[in-house]
Amino acid sequence: MPIAPHTALTAIPPVLHINVATYNAPLSATSVYNMQYNCYIAARTAGIAAAGSVAAWIAAGHAAPAVWALLSSFGMHSRASRLVPLTSLHATLVAVPSARITTIAGFTLPLPAVPASLPPGGGPTLATELTNIYNAFAAPGAVSVSGGFVAASKALHCLFPELAPMIDGRHTGLSYFNIARTTYTPPLGGTWAGWLGGPLHGHPNPSPRGAGRHGWGSQQFLAAIGINQHIYELWQAAHGYPGKHAFLALDPPPGTTGIPRVIDKALW
């Protein structure tokens, strides 16, 4: 169940363990997703190990079937917005420059600095590369027939599960929207302009429903990455900074390898 409207960001870390346990409860409607997700992560891990990198796994043609199967198991091929055919999804994935994939794959949450300043040393920033791939995946006919933020965010999570959050219109999207906007602030003590590398257009957490859904663009996706990290930072501070492994231990079922999956369950 999405968090209540006007929830302060600081109120989320104390209930992470409760919300995740509720998601994982054996008789819950969501626990079935754990097996499907773990199968995907296992296939991704093995595929990357065999190919040598995320980019090579995609180029070899093994990423698209795994991504398509997971998105389908999440119900994305049975609702109003249907997935594109497998061959079309493969074409979308291989069209992303391998250098872009490699840059993004080099980062996981928590980030050491704002994405607008990474990687150090020049070249396209992490913020720019994420924006480019998000916009490509959100286009109609790229991942889903109608396109949009759900398809883009979930496809990005499939490729980069330790960095990219999944956002939908019925669960997590509502939770992001329900976080009190005055507390919806970036991590590392900065501003959204600093995090994004430029002025924020629109609200950082628009409604995922009705006209609001059109407000979910690449900047809002980047802001959601920031919120994932901020929640993680708040949890660490409240528990004496026990480290990332302690945070991931909040979600014991196999398959969870990164911060976004824990927070996805907590905001579901």
Q: Give dist(CA 63, CA 60) in Å, integer.
A: 8
Which pLDDT score is estimated for 78? Answer: 66
Alpha helices in 32-180 (DSSP H): 32-51, 54-59, 63-73, 86-94, 98-105, 126-138, 149-159, 172-178
Q: Which residue has the tokens 């009190």?
A: 180
Report the distance separating Cα 15 and Cα 13, nearest Å: 5
The Cα–Cα gap between 268 and 263 comes to: 8
Alpha carbons 222 and 154: distance in angstroms, whole number: 13
Can you give the pLDDT of all 268 residues of the chain as single tens digits?
899 999 999 999 999 999 999 999 999 999 999 999 999 999 999 999 999 999 999 999 999 999 999 999 998 876 567 999 999 999 999 999 999 999 999 999 999 999 999 999 888 999 999 999 999 999 999 999 999 999 999 999 999 999 999 999 989 999 999 999 999 999 999 999 999 999 999 999 999 998 878 899 999 999 999 999 999 999 999 999 999 999 999 999 999 999 999 999 999 9
Helix axes 218-238, 259-267, angle to 10 degrees: 90
The rounded distance, in Å, linking the Cα atoms of 248 and 186 is 21
Task: State the Cα–Cα distance between residues 185 and 187, nearest whole angstrom.
Answer: 7
Sorted by where each begins, the domain ranges of the chain are 9-28+103-267
d(CA 200, CA 206) in angstroms, rounded, equals: 12
All residues at 6 or more sequence positions from 215 whose CB lies less than 8 Å from its CB, including other chains: 202, 203, 206, 207
The whole-angstrom distance between residue 32's C-alpha and the CA centroid of its chain comes to 20
Q: State the Cα–Cα distance between residues 229 and 101, nearest whole angstrom.
A: 21
Of 67, 12, 27, residue with least CA distance to 205: 12
Q: At what angle do helices 149-159 and 126-138 cross, to 10 degrees?
A: 130
Torsion angle (degrees, nearest 10) of CA 93, 98, 100, 104:
80
User: Please, what is the Cα angle at 253 between 86 and 55, to 5 degrees?
Assistant: 35
What is the sign of the dihedral through the CA atoms of 26, 173, 40 and 256? negative
pLDDT at position 122: 81
